[in-house]
Amino acid sequence: MITVHCTHFCIVLTPLLRPCMISPRPSTLLTMTDPFSPQWTCDGSATFFSAEFDELFHSEFGAAQEAEGKFVVPCELRRLAPTQDRIRLLDICYGLGYNSAAALAAIWAVNPACVVELVALDVEARPAQAAIAHHALAHYPAAIVAHLATLSTAHRVTTPQFTAQFHLGDARQTVQTVVRSHYQADAIFLDPFSPPKCPQLWTVEFLTQVAQCLAPTGILATYSCAAAVRAALQQAGLQIASSASVGRKAPGTIARWDGTNLPPLTPREQEHLATRAAVPYRDRTGTTPAATILAHRQQEQAHSPLEPSSQWKRRWFAPPASTGLTQISG
Ligand SMILES: C[S@@+](CC[C@H](N)C(=O)[O-])C[C@H]1O[C@@H](n2cnc3c(N)ncnc32)[C@H](O)[C@@H]1O
């Protein structure tokens, strides 16, 4: 039985009956007593709220659904698993571990013999440990939960079928260890808090390092479709495309070195990349504070010759006065 205390309600839930009642900002009491207390998303999976970043760890529509739709499916793991005897994953911002759990479940469902290597990055292990303690991953196979429980406390797993390393610290630094080890991931999950809240993990400089960890045929997936993120991925040398929408959310982005199999961006998305919204976040030292990154980008946007994104929005989203219909891109 789980008790959820939120700003406007206090309810008792059983794991089988979890209404979709998520508060974007749980009470101060809740975050003080247990900073990683489960919030139930619309698909019945749990997420946490970060008081530091003032943001949920997942979309309210579903943590498990997001892991599947924004990361596992776009990285084509079910297509890859039968064709490879070894798959390498890089999970950036491991959090509760949903993306890794969903990836392992997908791979081993189609190829139980596949050897998986996982490198996970996060600034701390507490969300991963709390996810295990609160049984947030309980709907994944028990063997996977056992591996990830070990990873959350020992920070390393070594078995014949699964090896994993958990690098703790600012991903701007830990990614350099991964680059130096010449790790080449078949799939990279890029899952930081949103760009306005955590700009340091969406910069051209950080994503250039991340790209160095992507195998020549690998796929990077992220939930974000922000023009600044897409522009940074392009500046890192990658080709980009949209991944499918999940819930009522916007599409995510996939990126790879070779763009031949990628669907083209729509005219609306291409034009978005020619607006000031596409001015990327920059972090030339690798240690710039988030507030400085945001302020510098704002200044650069103010002096940019690019079209303001408000004009682009009016062009593509404003309802024509005569019909009241919204213009949608093809
Ligand atoms: C949106 S949550 C990730 C959710 C996660 N992928 C999951 O499936 O549960 C963002 C994560 O970024 C981590 N984080 C925040 N700043 C970071 C940094 N500078 N370096 C590494 N991780 C960071 C947080 O601890 C948090 O776990």
CATH number for position 182: 3.40.50.150
Q: Which residues contact 35 (CB under 8 A, 6 or more apart)?
A: 48, 51, 126
Decide: 116 in ligand 1 pocket, CB within 6 A: no
Is there an atom of ligand 1 within 6 Å of 192 CB?
A: yes
- For residue 302, which amino acid is it? A
Same domain, 103 and 156: yes
Please identify, among 272, 293, 317, the residue that sits at the C-terminal boundary of a domain: 272
Q: For residues 162 and 146, give the distance between their C-alpha atoms in angstroms, rounded to a whole number.
A: 12
Q: Report yes or no on 118 lying in a domain.
A: yes
CB-based contact 130:48 (threshold 8 Å):
yes
Q: Let me know if 316 is exposed, middle or buried by CB neighbors in 10 A (0-12, 13-18, 19+).
A: middle
Question: Is 281 part of any domain?
Answer: no
Cross-strand pairs, 162? 116
123 lies in the same domain as 175 = yes
What is the average pLDDT across 265-291? 98
- Is the beta carbon of 124 within 6 A of some atom in ligand 1? yes
Q: For residue 311, is it within any domain?
A: no
Residue 295 belongs to a domain: no
Range of the domain at 42: 2-56
Are 105 and 137 in contact by the 8 Å Cβ rule? The answer is no
Which residue puts its alpha carbon closest to atom 3 of ligand 1? 95
> What residue owns the CA closest to ligand 1's atom 26?
95
In a domain, 152, yes or no: yes
Please indicate whether residue 202, judged by its CB atom, sits closer than 6 Å to ligand 1. no
Whether 13 and 83 map to the same domain: the answer is: no
- Neighbouring-strand partners of residue 5: 10
What span, in angstroms and rounded, lies between the C-alpha atoms of 296 and 93? 24
User: pLDDT of 190-225, one tens digit each?
Assistant: 999 999 999 999 999 999 999 999 999 999 999 999
- The tally of domains found in the chain comes to 2
Ligand 1 atom nearest to CA at 55? 1
pTM here is 0.90
Q: How far is the CA of 206 from the centre of ligand 1 (A)?
A: 15
- Centroid of ligand 1 to alpha carbon of 92 (angstroms): 7
> CA-to-CA distance for 286 and 292, rounded, in angstroms?
12
On whether both 173 and 263 belong to a single domain, the answer is yes
Q: What angle do CA 22, 28, 33 make, to 5 degrees?
A: 95
Using CA atoms, how far apart are residues 240 and 220, in angstroms rounded to an integer?
9
Q: What is the pLDDT of residue 209?
A: 98
Query: Mean pLDDT lowest for which of 141-155, 213-227, 313-327?
Result: 313-327
Q: Is residue 81's pLDDT more than 70?
A: yes
Region 164-183: mean pLDDT is: 98
Band of residue 274 on the pLDDT scale cut at 50, 70, 90: very high
pLDDT above 60 (res 231): yes
Domain match, 198 and 245 both = yes
Find the 322 Cα to ligand 1 centroid distance in Å: 46
Decide if 326 is inside a domain.
no
Question: What's residue 83's pLDDT?
Answer: 96
Do both 172 and 218 map to the same domain?
yes
Give the distance (Å) from ligand 1 centre to CA of residue 307: 33
Atom of ligand 1 nearest to the CA of 47: 9
Residue 285 lies in a domain: no
Atom 4 of ligand 1 has which residue's CA nearest to it?
95
Q: For residues 125 and 46, state if they share a domain.
A: no
Ligand 1 nearest-atom number relative to CA 48: 9
For residue 126, tell me if it sits in a domain: yes
Is the CA virtual torsion 164, 134, 20, 121 positive or negative?
Answer: negative
Which residue, chain included where needed, has tokens 């309210």?
60
Q: Is the CB of 199 under 6 A from ligand 1?
A: no
Comparing CA positions, the residue from 285, 244, 280, 242 lying closest to residue 264 is: 242
Residues 87 and 45 in one domain: no
Residue 32 confidence class, pLDDT cut points 50, 70, 90: low
Centroid of ligand 1 to alpha carbon of 325 (angstroms): 39
Q: Does 150 share its domain with 223?
A: yes
Residues 91 and 51 in one domain: no
Domain final position from 219, 248, 272: 272
Average pLDDT on 72-93 reads 98
Looking at the structure, do residues 132 and 99 belong to the same domain, yes or no?
Answer: yes
Statement: residue 7 has pLDDT above 60: no
pLDDT of residue 260: 83
Name residues whose C-beta falls within 8 Å of residue 166's C-beta, 6 or more positions apart in sequence.
94, 120, 121, 122, 125, 128, 151, 152, 155, 156
Say whether both 151 and 40 belong to one domain: no
